[in-house]
Amino acid sequence: MDLLPSDEQQEIAAAAAAFLAKELPIDGVRARRHEKRAVDPEVWARCANLGWFGVGVGEANGGVGYGLVEEAILFREIGRGLAPGPFLATSLAVRAALQTGRIDLAGALMAGDCFAALGLPRDPDAAVEDPLYGAFDLIDDEGASVLLVAGPGGSALVDVSALGPVKRLVALDPASRLGRIDLTGAPATVLPHADAGALFERGTVLAAAILAGTAEAVRDQAAEHARTRVQFGRPIGVHQAIKHRCAEMALRCEAATSQVFFAAAAIDGDRADTGFQASSAKIVATNAAVDNARDNIQIHGGQGYTFGNDANLHLKHAHAVAATMAPLRWHLAHLLDLVPAE
Amino acid sequence: MDLDFTDSDRTFRDEVRTWLAEHVPREGRPTQRAAMRAFDLEWQRTQWDGGWAGISWPEEYGGRGLSLTEQLIWYEEYGRYDLPDIDARFVGISHAGPTLMARASDEQKAYHLPRILKGEVVWCQGFSEPDAGSDLASLRTRGHVDGDEMVISGQKIWTSYADIADWQELLVRTDPDVPKHKGITWIICDMHSPGIEIRPLETMEGESDFCEVFYNDVRLPLANVVGEIDDGWGVAMSTLAFERGTAFTLSQVQLSRIVEDLIDEARDRSAPDGRPLIRDEELARRLATARAEVASLRAMTYAAISRSRRQGSPGPEGSMLKLFFSDAAQRVYRLAFDIVGQDGLEYRSRSSAGGWSGKYLYSFSQSIGGGTSEIQRNIIGERVLGLPRG
Ligand SMILES: Cc1cc2nc3c(=O)[nH]c(=O)nc-3n(C[C@H](O)[C@H](O)[C@H](O)COP(=O)(O)OP(=O)(O)OC[C@H]3O[C@@H](n4cnc5c(N)ncnc54)[C@H](O)[C@@H]3O)c2cc1C
């Protein structure tokens, strides 16, 4: 047993962090907020070159051949750097395409020639069938080729061309684009039941990894501000009101990141309690991200309330990510229905 | 101790109710800044014309000369309707006005107070600076006397409505060589003076309600000093006590309406299993708690007004009201955000219909503006409970 990243895994994280800081800096979220696509297509292509959309896909299928642990390590960095864009949707869509024999689509997604959007069912338990009915919120659908739906009700791919007109909405999160649609029988490529469940669990862990990264980013931003912001002649971090808040933030991160790795390792190791571990990760990471983001704003005072400060971007993104892979309420109810962990 | 309003209070309440019902503005508040200013002032003027401006202000300044009880009744009735927030009128009505009444010269009062009540002017508050927020007394914007003028240079920040304001309550450092609380002067600044540059800042809620204000050798007449030169801290403290005291009454009444709206939302919306959301035990418990907290907020307001009537001014207990209010408001708007669920992915401004996501974002300012919650806790610990100072 070893729940800490190996040297090689740490290198994956460091390389991803360096790439994101250079190519997808958080300022871009503000700069591109009125663009149709949250990510510059050229940068997206470079992410594809790094193999990011096939990290957990076997080499025989054109992927990198790592496990979910490595993928979670990457997604934690994506959360930490607040990299906008359909990373989660595209990585899951690759897997869904392979499982349904759509090899060309998987290849095109991995190559960065196209990307996927997430379809969040308004009712997380509604059955995902072909043809597909129901109301969906669409994340990053503008310019996407395919819509990925992955939830407790099943998983499927829907070609965007088959969607019909999408209602455009202003997203709370400037790092994502939002649409809404009522599907009235769209043709869908539905995953077999077992594959769909596994995909949903993987997606749940990856969403949790992004959220754990958010929690860590704002912890660091808060601690830095507490060390350097001077009021009453001393750094504000000398006050326990601030110091203890920062300590709580650190605690939430430790819990969230550990549980994300545990859940990812559980899936890689084919344990029986993967659903239990994945839901636990999503719950703890959601709370860590949202609570830490809130505390970070407070610690920043007036600055924290401005759009120009990163603090608000993390909060908004945390809420957007938390809504994916079934909301908190669903995971809370679901976790109690499961048998205890192994 | 009793909760009974007198016959004349009841008559007053009826009059307020009748008038408000007839004068609810039909249009929403515009977002374009000049139009917003016009809208806010127009609404103030309507109240003035109806005889409802400055209910508890002395008659000599154009007020009604009534007590805080009538003021409370007005706010209670006002809060029942979806009426415009106090917004750009806040500083004039709840800050600068009360401070001027307490500390200004007769000429200053005679000039400014009626203009505030008649809705002719917008005031803003120039206290905070980049390096002087919680530690307000460390402010560095300089004011030096030159003949019969004060010359101002420096910078303020987070000044709400500076871009549409006519006047500002401005704190400047006039003596840098004495302990920081001395050597500060409270001066009335004409926002149209040469040398003032205003840069709006975008908030996380999406509005540009506050600004950076730069002062480049701005010349103000010495006659604009309120109180004595170098005695501005005492003047400022009377303002802050007001901000933390009865100025919250309207917000409190509005919050209670919001909680009732939310309860309706929870009845109307259904969970995925088809049952109304209000049947969700966790949400139901949080809603009930919110109702109770908002009820006690009203009780605290009554207590604060009663205390104020006996003592003449709001005491440090105002900090408790502010802290309890901002905590409760943040919980309520977070609850709202949880109730609307996936709808919250869409941004809707706080003043629009169904603007729960905007209201949620706005609620983050409640524990920062007007003195942070940490600072309120320090005040409560030190001034209410007598704990040692940190
Ligand atoms: C929406 C909004 C509107 C505003 N409008 C105005 C306005 O019109 N005019 C105006 O002058 N100002 C205005 N302000 C500014 C407001 O008063 C300041 O933001 C506030 O006083 C905090 O100062 P700061 O931003 O410098 O934060 P800081 O003082 O730097 O505080 C940072 C953090 O440190 C904490 N902290 C600081 N000192 C202590 C301590 N001793 N003990 C424990 N914790 C501490 C704070 O609580 C906070 O969490 C507004 C602010 C907001 C958010």
Residues B71 and B25 in one domain: yes
Residues B369 and B261 in one domain: yes
Residues of A in contact with B372 (CB under 8 A): 298, 301
Residues of B in contact with A307 (CB under 8 A): 201-204, 206
CATH code at B293?
Answer: 1.20.140.10
Contact assignment for A308 to B202 by CB distance below 8 Å: yes
How far does residue B294's CA lie from ligand 1's centre (Å)?
Answer: 25
Chain A nearest-CA residue for B272:
A123
Angstroms from B114 CA to nearest CA on chain A: 32
| Burial (CB count within 10 angstroms: exposed 0-12, middle 13-18, buried 19+), residue A340 | exposed
Asked if the structure places residue B118 within a domain, the reply is no
Asked if the structure places residue B165 within a domain, the reply is yes
Question: What interface predicted TM-score (ipTM) does this complex get?
Answer: 0.96
Residues B168 and B213 in one domain: yes
Query: Residue B121 and residue B130: Cα distance in Å, rounded?
Result: 27
Per-residue pLDDT of chain B (390 residues), as tens digits, is: 899 999 999 999 999 999 999 998 888 888 899 999 999 999 999 999 999 999 989 999 999 999 888 988 999 999 888 888 888 999 999 889 999 998 999 999 999 999 999 999 999 999 999 999 999 999 999 999 999 999 999 999 999 999 999 999 999 999 999 999 999 999 999 999 999 999 999 999 998 889 999 999 999 999 999 999 999 999 988 766 655 556 678 888 889 999 999 999 999 998 877 899 999 999 999 999 999 999 999 999 888 888 877 876 667 778 888 899 999 999 999 999 999 999 999 999 988 888 999 999 999 999 999 899 999 999 999 999 999 987
- Say whether pLDDT at A156 is over 90: yes
- Helix or strand (DSSP H, E) at B187: strand B184-190
Handedness of CA B95, B96, B98, B99 (dihedral sign): positive
Residue nearest to atom 52 of ligand 1 (CA): B369
Residues of A in contact with B361 (CB under 8 A): 172, 312, 316
Asked if the structure places residue B339 within a domain, the reply is yes
Q: Lowest-confidence range among A69-78, A167-176, B308-317?
A: B308-317
Query: Residue B90 and residue B42: Cα distance in Å, rounded?
Result: 14
Contact present, A131 and A188 (Cβ < 8 Å)? yes
Proportion of chain A above pLDDT 70, given as a percent: 100
Give the pLDDT confidence of A88-113 residue by residue, as tens digits. Answer: 999 999 999 999 999 999 999 999 99
Residues B167 and B256 in one domain: no
Q: What is the pTM for the complete model shown?
A: 0.97
Asked if the structure places residue B196 within a domain, the reply is yes
Asked if the structure places residue B357 within a domain, the reply is yes
Domains in chain A, start-ordered, CATH in brackets? Answer: 195-337 (1.20.140.10)
Last residue of a domain, one of B202, B230, B258: B230
Residues B75 and B131 in one domain: no
Residues B310 and B268 in one domain: yes
Contact present, A201 and B104 (Cβ < 8 Å)? no
Active site residues of B: 243
Residues B199 and B132 in one domain: yes
| Burial (CB count within 10 angstroms: exposed 0-12, middle 13-18, buried 19+), residue A57 | buried
In this predicted structure, what is the pLDDT of residue B82?
A: 81
Pocket of ligand 1 (CB under 6 A): A 229, 231-232, 236, 239, 241-242, 298-299, 301-302, 305; B 124-128, 133-134, 158-160, 210, 365, 368-372, 374-375, 378
Residues B303 and B380 in one domain: yes
Residues B286 and B364 in one domain: yes
Q: What is the DSSP string of B229-262?
A: TTBHHHHHHHHHHHHTTGGGHHHHHHHHHHHHHH
Question: Which range of residues forms the domain containing residue B24?
Answer: 7-85
Residues B149 and B45 in one domain: no
Q: Atom of ligand 1 at shortest distance to CA of B128?
A: 11
**What is the domain count for chain B?**
3
How far does residue A201's CA lie from ligand 1's centre (Å)?
Answer: 42
Size of chain A, expressed as the number of residues it contains: 342
Contact present, A277 and A262 (Cβ < 8 Å)? yes
Asked if the structure places residue B97 within a domain, the reply is no
Q: Cβ atoms within 10 A of the Cβ of B162, count?
A: 25
Asked if the structure places residue B93 within a domain, the reply is no
Last residue of a domain, one of B85, B107, B142: B85
Measured between CB atoms, which of A125, A170, A242 is closest to B346? Answer: A170
Residues B71 and B200 in one domain: no
Asked if the structure places residue B48 within a domain, the reply is yes
In this predicted structure, what is the pLDDT of residue B239?
A: 64
- Say whether pLDDT at A83 is over 90: yes
Residues B258 and B375 in one domain: yes
Proportion of chain A above pLDDT 90, given as a percent: 97
Contact assignment for A170 to B347 by CB distance below 8 Å: yes
Last residue of a domain, one of B230, B255, B285: B230
Give the pLDDT confidence of A252-281 residue by residue, as tens digits. Answer: 999 999 999 999 999 999 999 999 999 999
DSSP secondary-structure letter at B92? I
